[in-house]
Structure 1
Amino acid sequence: MTDQLRPLPQTVAGIIDQPGYVDTDFFFLATVLERLGEEWVDAPKILTPEQFDEVQEVIAGLHLPEDYRLYNDSTFAAVVAAAVELLPEEVWAKLHLDRESWEKSLKSHRNLIAHSAKQGGPHRRFSTGLPLRALRDATAVVVTLLFAQHLGVDGDALSCAADGQRVQRIMKHKTGTLVFNNSGLE
């Protein structure tokens, strides 16, 4: 994995050991999660193969420049959703992390950071306070558990690791289930 995903595992370990700027750490972790999904799962593409073939036929008739390329990639949200499916339900239960709200917030805030011109007041409040730190830490937990699982940690050991990550990283933000909403945390 060190060679295949270089430098992701090393950089993630560095961020977890010594966090830096919250927004850059979060953005990097979201990118790592996307990369893991691209590497380990087959996420659905935007278009079906049939739809993509139809679009390519239409474009072929437009006589576009030879270097024009059309891609049928998976969206960030689809890749992340497929990647986090790799973790068993027992792990999610141990984390006390509301998966649906985390995925929605991850997508929303990753896109707002990536396309910063679209940021508004609510996003700035989210990203300058506790909510983005909680989102960064929750994302680090998920990435860490995916790495551990990929290295062969499974079953009770993975559930125990999830519980340890909850105590160390999630409970500092909320003792119950960590739930995200548009304005921050519930």
Structure 2
Amino acid sequence: MDDHSPAPVHIREMTLADCPRVAEIRVRGWQNAYKGLMPRSYLDGLDVAAELPRRRAHFTQAGEGVVNLVAQWAGEVVGWSCHGPYREGERRTGDAELYAIYVAPDRIARGVGRALLRNSVARSAAAGHERMLLRVLRENASARRFYERAGFLADGAEEPFEIEGVEVPEVRYVRLLGGTGGP
């Protein structure tokens, strides 16, 4: 199959066995998505081998309501998302939060991210959450467009974030769920 041929994207719950591929997708995703937005030395220093124990720990110690999903394309895991209860500091609210969504760089703009987001939104609505919130780097224009096309709107909240002394603030986005489905 040609790499540019359309292929169905299958979304399923992540398993512990997916952690090595998810660690790779997360590291490569950061290096690709945040190029020019974060210090290059930081991005170059990200390491899949170092990320793997963190992914395993996050997966095995996920709290109640945390859902890790993977996207498969022709049998290969090519994307990952994680959502769960909204974190307002140490306080939990009745809202859902998209904690992470990453797609293998060679599968970006092929519907993988949309399928993951659609599934996370639908699961959050089915769980009774009225809203889903997420944070995105303020200067990440392509990610902001992606979320806006999916019905998320910036709500004016901004959170400081710093990498190696460089400010990379995040803005918060929100989408009303109301059980209406996905992006």
Fold shared, TM-score > 0.5 on shorter chain: no
Normalised TM-score (structure 1): 0.29
**Rg bigger for which structure?**
1
Which structure: greater strand fraction? 2
Which structure: greater helix fraction? 1
Normalised TM-score (structure 2): 0.29
